[in-house]
Each structure stands twice: as C-alpha cells, then as structure tokens.
Chain A
Amino acid sequence: MATAPRFWRENPSRYNMVGFKCNSCGRYNFPPRTICPVCRRKSVGRIEPVKLKGTGKIFSLTETHEGMDTQNVQKPYVVAMVELDEGAMVTGQVIDCDASELRIGTKVRIALRKLSEEGTAGVIHYGYKFTLVRDGPDGPGDE
C-alpha cells in the first residue's frame, strides 16, 4: 500500500487538469514538466501552468476485459487516448456510455471520478475520466 503523498502531490493535475504552456514554442502539454520536451533549455523560466479546458476528441480507444485489479474497476471498461482541444494528449477511461457509441473522433469531456481505493479503510484516489459530449436534448454530456 502506497502512502497518501504518492497520490496527493499530483492532485492539482489529476483534479483540475493543470498542464502547462511552453512560452518558447507555444505548445500545451500535460502533465506539468520542469522543461518543455521540445524546447528543452530554451524553455527554462518560460513554463506557465495552465488549467486545460478538458474537452477533446478520441484519438484511439480500447475496451478492456482482462488484466486489471478487479477491486477497482467494473469490467469491461473503455480506455481512450484523447487529443485535448489545446493539443495535449492524455489517456483515461471513458464512462457513462456504451462502447458502441464511441469512435475515433468522438467528442468527450473530463469528469472527476473515483479512480481506485486501497481496501475498505484505505485512501480513495480521485482523478479524471471522460464522458461523451452528447448533442441534442440529453446534452451536453456529464450530468
């Protein structure tokens, strides 16, 4: 079992999608880094923390049936790589929808959800998952 700080220190990014903008090249990235992977030294002092909008499109996806700790997920579940509107790529679960509704290019948005818990009395870890952005009277999306 990991100690609470192992997860707690990343909470600003896991709860609020705080990434960064490199003011050398203008690219957005997630999660925060000390230097921009493209500009390297030129980016020192030019990394600006940015809260990303949390909306984007599915770049690739899979429905996972086996291989995960069964305590923390209902199987099967969908995982997608999502290209956020700012251009950053992230990976996460897509929830509250049927896998058949999802395609490459489908619009999704971030939702804060429980990721896992360490036993019945342990720390509960929260973070981002994605929900479908629905058009029409049921939309938009989450709740």
Chain B
Amino acid sequence: MRRVGIIGIGITEFGELWDSSFRKIGISAGLAAVEDANISAEHIDALYVGNMSAGRFIRQEHVGALIADYSGLAKGHIPATRVEAAGASGGLALRQGFLAVASGMNDIVVVGGAEKMTDVSDVESSLIQSSAADQEWETELGVTFAGLHSLIATRHMHEYGTTREQLADVAVKNHRHGSLNPKAQFRREISRDVVLKSPMVSSPLRMFDCAPSSDGAAAVVLCPFEMAGKHAEMPIEIVGSGQASDSLALHHRRDICTMDATRLAAKRAFKMAGLRQKDVSVAEVHDNFTISEILAIEDLGFFSKGEGGKATEDGRTALEGDVAVNSSGGLKARGDPIGATGVAQAVEIVTQLRGKADERQVKDASVGLTQNVGGTGATVVVHLFRREM
C-alpha cells in the first residue's frame, strides 16, 4: 500500500442556507479544496461524494455524476461515485478515496460530502434521519432517531450513573468550541441551564442535546504522500483507516451502552497507524446527540467505560484538556449536514494539524482522529491523521 496525504481542504459555512442549492454548496466546497491544493481539473483522477439521502431531501439521486458535472469534470469523464452509509457517508467516502490512492489505482482523488436538509420540514427531516435505523422493526413501531439515542442514554445513566448535567456539559463545551469557528452553524455559547430547560424531545434528551438539521458541504484532496510535498506546504498524512459494522437495530446489539463498531474501527485504525490513544491530541467525534459523544470517547479508548460523563464534566475533553474533542463545535454546534459531516471532521483535523485553527487551535497538535457513525452505530469509520514532524 502507498502512503496517502491530504493536500487540500474546503468547507462551506454550515447552517440553513436557503439561498444555496445542493449543487452550489457541493461545488463551492470542492473548488475551495482544489484551490487549496493548487491543482486543476485535469489533474483529478476520481471523485467520491458522501451523501445520505438526496433522493428524499431534494428528490435527486445520482449525485456523484451531478457534482462531477457542475464541478466542470464531466468533460474529463472521470469516475464519480456516490457513497452512502447514513451518518457515516462522508467518512466512508474518505475511506474509499484513501483506498483508491493507497492501492495505486488513482493518484489525485477529490472526496466531497454534501447534504441539503432544509428543503423539507423539520418532521420530514427527522423521519428521513430515522431511516438510518431499522425501518421495519424500530421506526414502524414508533421509535424516533432521537428516541433510540434516548434508550442508550437512559441505560447508560442506569448502569454507570452518568448524570443529566454531564450530558448537558457535552453541548456546553461544543457550543463554546463552535463560538470560535467562523463556519459553525451555532456560534454562541450556552449555559448548562439553557440545555436543561430546553424543550423535551425524547426523555432524557432535550433540544440542546440534539444536533440540528443543516445544509453544508466539505471536501478534501488526496494524493500519494511522496507527491504531496509538491502541492502543499504542510501535507497531512492519513496514517490509519478503520471501518466496522454492527446490527442495524439497536435492540440486537451485544450492549447498547457500547458501540462495538467504534471499538473495532478504532482498533483497526490504531493498529494500521502504529499509534496509541495517548498520541492523539485532537479528535472530531460523532456527537449527533450528547450521549453519542460520551459513548464515543469511551469506545475510542480515551476514557474507561462509564467514565465519559465525568471526564466531560471535569473538562478533560475541552480545547485545553487531555484530548480536545470536537474543536470545530462538533455536529452539535458546527452543524450536521449528514453526508458532509465525515468530511468536515477531516477538514477540521487537517486545519488543526496545520496549526491554522486560530482561536480554537489545540496546542502542539500533531496527531488527530475522526470518528463518523451511521445510524445508532451500525457503521463506524475511524481515521487517524499525522503531521510530519
């Protein structure tokens, strides 16, 4: 396998982008990444696009070819592939691009992720999100996507004594980080009290425990690491890539308080990279709900099972903590345009490792991690990134 580097990144503002279409946001992230990499269209060998549900959000399928076309790549007839794994679509698109370059099949690959969620109503949006769960044996019986995460939260609180306040602390931290990110959907700090008094969605989770519906796109440019120095001042290497699956329905898992797919994807990525948890200084994890971040930091091995709530409360996951978790604001505050999220995580880690994160810069960041989840944990993709010393 060849070593793979990231030589360009691009991201749109995340939020309710009513005046922008799906194709417009997809292209603007792609163009920014290509410009950052200082390459032009004829250099690009392949395109991967992470997208969960354009068919239901904007009634448009076949978005791989669409993005290639509007990016001006149709004349070159490059292979353009859409990748879908619900919330993990973006991370999985990155992994497909990584494999294409590592294998020697392609040299320069653009990986994008995009979702346009606000062209449908809030209820429709949450029904589409719940299609990541088991439609026949969960959703049809009346459980929502938030409801499934509430079942996890209730059980985690029961087994480990995780408190309602500790869940709130995840949202408070991520809003604080988001306030420092000019691309974030929510750039205002909130207090614990705001979370605890927000409307109930599905007990114990309230409105401020849930990531919003968002429009947005992100893109990265990959190439063989040995060529990366020609294109980028500071190329960042993807040193580990791990993917794992699990049962589609939450009730068929070995343990609903642990995402086994996170544990295994992380194990595979760390093994490939030859790194350990203590080497990681900055991590973007899939906080679609506050409880999800608690599970993530435990299952990635940063904290022991049951200690995630306490670690958050003690500030160990803040910018200046043991490991800075979701320096971008995470899904909660940066926003969660589903297919874009996994790629946006990589954009944040590259920004941090380049030392270009301004006010939210994590000191001496040299190794970063991303964890991207589909459904309630039926697909997980973990990547590890390193700056050349």
Contacts and interface: CB of A to CB of B under 8 A. Distances in A.
A10 interface: yes
Interface in B113-166: 123, 126-127, 136-138, 140-148, 150-155, 158
Please report whether the interface of chain A is mostly helix, strand, loop or mixed according to DSSP. Answer: strand
Interface in A91-127: 91-93, 99, 104, 115-116, 125, 127
A128 interface: yes
Given A65-B199, A67-B126, A60 B256 contact: yes
Given A60-B155, A81-B256, A125-B140, A65 B251 contact: no
Contacts of B205: 62
Given A66-B201, A67-B201, A79-B147, A61 B154 contact: yes
B252 interface: yes
Nearest to B140: A115
A90 B138 CA distance: 8
Interface residues of A, number: 36
Interface string A45-82: 00000000000000111111111111011001101110
A62 B150 contact: yes
Contacts of B365: none
B247 interface: yes
Contact of B250 (A37, A91, A92): A91
Contacts of A35: none
In this complex, the interface size class of chain B, counting residues with CB under 8 Å from chain A, is 35 or more
* Best-buried of A65, A93, A116 by chain B (most CB within 10 Å): A65
B154 A89 contact: no
A54 B311 CA distance: 40
B275 interface: no
B154 A67 contact: no
Given A67-B145, A91-B141, A62 B203 contact: yes
Given A81-B151, A93-B142, A66 B202 contact: yes
Given A60-B154, A60-B155, A127 B140 contact: yes
Contact of A63 (B140, B203, B256): B203
A31 interface: yes
Interface of B: 123, 126-127, 136-138, 140-148, 150-155, 158, 199-205, 207, 247, 249-252, 256
8 contacts: A62-B147, A63-B200, A63-B203, A65-B199, A79-B202, A81-B151, A127-B140, A129-B141
